[in-house]
Amino acid sequence: MKFRLFSLAAAFAVIAGVASAQDYSSPEFEKYGATPEERKENVLKYNYLNDAFRQKDWALASKYFNELAKDAPGIGQNLYIMGGTIYKNKIATARTREDRVRYIDSLLTVYDMRAEQFGDHPTRGISYIYSEKAKDFINYRPTEIGDIIKHSTAAIDASKDNVDLNLAQGYFNALVEGYKNDDVETEVLLNEYDKLVVVVLKSDNAHKDEVAGVIDALFIQSGAATCDNLEKIFKAQFEADPDNLDLVKKIARYLSRNECKSAFAAEVGEKLYSLEPTAEAAIIIAGNYAEIKNMDKAYQFYDEAIELEQNPETKATYAVRASGVALIAENGRKSAEYARKAIANDSENGLAYFLLAQAYANGTSQCSGFERQMAFCLVYDQMLRAREHVTDAAQLEVINKAIATYPAYFPSNEEVFFRTLSKGDSYNVSCGWLSGTTTIRTK
């Protein structure tokens, strides 16, 4: 300690000696004060500040900083850079909550003083200073959502088209946390999300897409990305620029990810398809139209998806999806048509056989008498094939239950004999839209 005090005293003596030789009336010292005497004193203080800063004596450094910020605020940006570091270290070592609060207030004041003196700096002006202030506010006062919004908005507005990406990400993360704690209204979160994504993507920073993706993910995780909210966010954007492929893709992606089924989702999907026809777009559109019960449109786009898709297994998956939709709509004929397409592309797709059996069961209402009994043999055939290709235990349980019910609908031995037929013979079923070859079975 004695050595350190001696060193400081010696350093101050040297500094004082050098300072006394300076001509403080010259223009280069104007920023240090109004008179040569004031300038001399502030030059000494600035040197003392630098020495205390290097020694990490934050109490002494803060004393000199405060005096200089009051008496010679225009010395230079470095004064405020040091001031920020001084108070961050005092915050980190504060012994009481009251001290910590006071030091945080002082840190924020440092930014205000810096903005007043150097806000017009070409690269480290208002935009930069406000961004740094907002990031520190989020860091030190993460629950004060109202002020976080105020400081972050001021920084973002000042940044124009070159927003600080770290601020954008940190700000939206704070908003999401606030939303989860019921401190941020849904409308506020939606509006800020909409604004942030736009300004981030305008940035010339090479990482803008990455940050926009993080903000997107935070929005989805927030739970605010309901279908109604997504429509509120995107409908105006879509209507304003419906031929913007990137925008339409983005909207379609969000709506699809959240399984949104609505007239708006269908409109977006169809626009995407018109701009860039793909199987993926067509299948989304089909699902949307099916949800709003526009079955003609749904079938149209299921057909488009199946036609455009090149991978046979994926074609089969699309066809299975279409078959299921048609079956729910009680259109057995259409369901069977899609199930057969699925089997043609993937003969081991168990769900396709299961749906074909269900479609045939629906079609038995078109038949009567012995033809209806034989139609159930046709249903039984497809259900047996489904069982051969399904491995899921739950699905197998459903299939086995169905298989067990069908024999009750088969003809009796007497009925088969009366028609001069025999059990095990081949039989061509043809009634209504239902047709196919099966094996004669009896109860």
Q: What percent of the chain has pLDDT over 70?
A: 95
**Contact present, 148 and 137 (Cβ < 8 Å):** yes
**Contact present, 373 and 411 (Cβ < 8 Å):** yes
Q: What is the pLDDT of residues 402-415, one digit of tens each?
A: 999 999 999 999 99
pLDDT value at 15 more than 90: no
Q: Let me know if 235 is exposed, middle or buried by CB neighbors in 10 A (0-12, 13-18, 19+).
A: middle
pLDDT value at 20 more than 90: no
Nearest to 373 by CA among 443, 325, 425: 443
Q: What is the mean pLDDT of residues 303-331?
A: 95
Q: What is the pLDDT of residues 109-145, one digit of tens each?
A: 999 999 999 999 999 999 999 999 999 999 999 999 9
Q: Which residue has the higher pLDDT, 187 or 370?
A: 370
Q: Roughly what angle, to the nearest 10 degrees, separates helices 350-363 and 393-405?
A: 30
Q: Which residue has the higher pLDDT, 291 or 405?
A: 405
Give the pLDDT confidence score for residue 46 in this predicted structure: 97
Question: How far is C-alpha 59 from the chain's CA centre?
Answer: 45
- Bridge partner list, 439: 426
Longest Cα separation, the chain: 131
Give the pLDDT confidence score for residue 190 in this predicted structure: 86
Per-residue pLDDT band at 262 (split at 50, 70, 90): confident
Q: What is the mean pLDDT of residues 285-295?
A: 89
Per-residue pLDDT band at 11 (split at 50, 70, 90): very low
Give the pLDDT confidence score for residue 21 in this predicted structure: 56
Give the pLDDT confidence score for residue 292 in this predicted structure: 86
Of 3-17, 37-51, 90-104, least confident by mean pLDDT is 3-17
pTM over 0.75: no
Q: What is the mean pLDDT of residues 228-235?
A: 88
Q: What is the average pLDDT score of the chain?
A: 91
pLDDT value at 164 more than 70: yes
Per-residue pLDDT band at 5 (split at 50, 70, 90): very low
Give the pLDDT confidence score for residue 12 in this predicted structure: 45
**Contact present, 401 and 372 (Cβ < 8 Å):** no
Q: Are strands 434-439 and 426-431 parallel, antiparallel or unpaired?
A: antiparallel
Q: What is the mean pLDDT of residues 199-226?
A: 91
pLDDT value at 17 more than 80: no
Q: State residue 122 phi and psi, 5-degree precision.
A: -65, -30
Question: What whole-number distance in Å separates Cα of residue 164 and Cα of residue 226?
Answer: 28
